[in-house]
Amino acid sequence: MVETGTIPARSGAAFDVRAGHSVRIINTHGAQVVDFFAFNAAEPLEHLSMPHTHAALNRVVPQPGDTLTSSKRRAMLTITEDTTPGVHDTLIAACDPWRYQELGVQGWHASCAENLEKALKEKGISIGFTPSPFNLFMNIPVEDGSLSFEEPLTSPGEYIEMRAEMDLVVVCSACPQDILKINKQNPTEAHYEVR
Ligand SMILES: [Zn+2]
């Protein structure tokens, strides 16, 4: 059985993925960054950690076959399939109210940090901080130690699929960034499937 859900534009979604099941994140419209977070369902303070994953893999961008690790250095998810060009980001913090202030926004602007907090709250979870996300489809090329924020290289319908290695609460945020070009300045919805 496949459970399908929408990650609404500029918003987030939280859902369970049991150990051994797979989660597919679909870039429905082709140019949407999805900030991906995962938490140990039994102990949500243990979270998917990009710095720990870097050390486990000796790689910056994980690829099919790679296992992503938690803040306690345990296996959380294994990438089983990636139909995109394989460009994802693991370096950049989730956008947050301060990021939009810094970019000159006056007043409230949706952010991945707030989307995470709201989505976890619906699950009765509060962790009090924002882990560094696995930024799916986000194109942050690094050259000679410098990086830049570029448009995604994905096409509509491309996806990445990961198998849960423990019972997880997953949160996905359709990044509302509309000032930089990472979503082609047009944030859209994305979709997920759990099977
Ligand atoms: Zn964001």
The predicted structure's pLDDT at residue 1: 87
What pLDDT score was predicted for residue 126? 96
Beta carbons within 8 Å of 137's beta carbon, 6+ residues apart: 27, 32, 33, 34, 84, 87, 88, 152, 154, 158
Q: What is the count of structural domains for the chain?
A: 1
Cα 109 to middle of ligand 1, angstroms: 11
Q: How far is CA 52 from CA 33, 47, 71, 137, in A?
A: 22, 10, 6, 20
Ligand 1 midpoint to CA 115 (Å): 9
Q: Residue 54: which domain range?
A: 3-194
Cα(94) to ligand 1 centroid in Å equals 5
Say how many Å lie between the CA of residue 22 and the centre of ligand 1.
24
Separation of CA 110 and ligand 1 centre (Å): 8
The answer to whether 177 touches 134, Cβ cutoff 8 Å, is: no
- Give the per-residue pLDDT at 18: 98
Average pLDDT over residues 76-103: 98
Q: Yes or no: say if 156 and 99 are a contact pair by the CB < 8 Å rule.
A: no
Sign of the alpha-carbon dihedral angle for 74, 141, 188, 175: positive
Distance 178 CA to ligand 1 centre (A): 9
How many angstroms is it from 129 CA to the middle of ligand 1?
Answer: 15
Backbone angles phi, psi at 111, to 5 degrees: -145, 155
Label residue 3 by pLDDT band (50, 70, 90).
very high
Residue 58 pLDDT: 98
Average pLDDT over residues 20-33: 98
Confidence grade of residue 170 (pLDDT, cut at 50, 70, 90): very high
- Band (146; pLDDT cuts 50, 70, 90): very high
At 74 the three-state DSSP class reads: coil
Instruction: Give the Cα separation of 111 and 97 in Å (integer).
Output: 6
pLDDT score of 140 more than 90: yes
The percentage of the chain sitting over the pLDDT mark of 90, rounded to a whole number, equals: 99
* pLDDT of 101 strictly over 90: yes
CA angle 181, 147, 52 (to 5 degrees): 105
pLDDT in tens, 105-133: 999 999 999 999 999 999 999 999 999 99
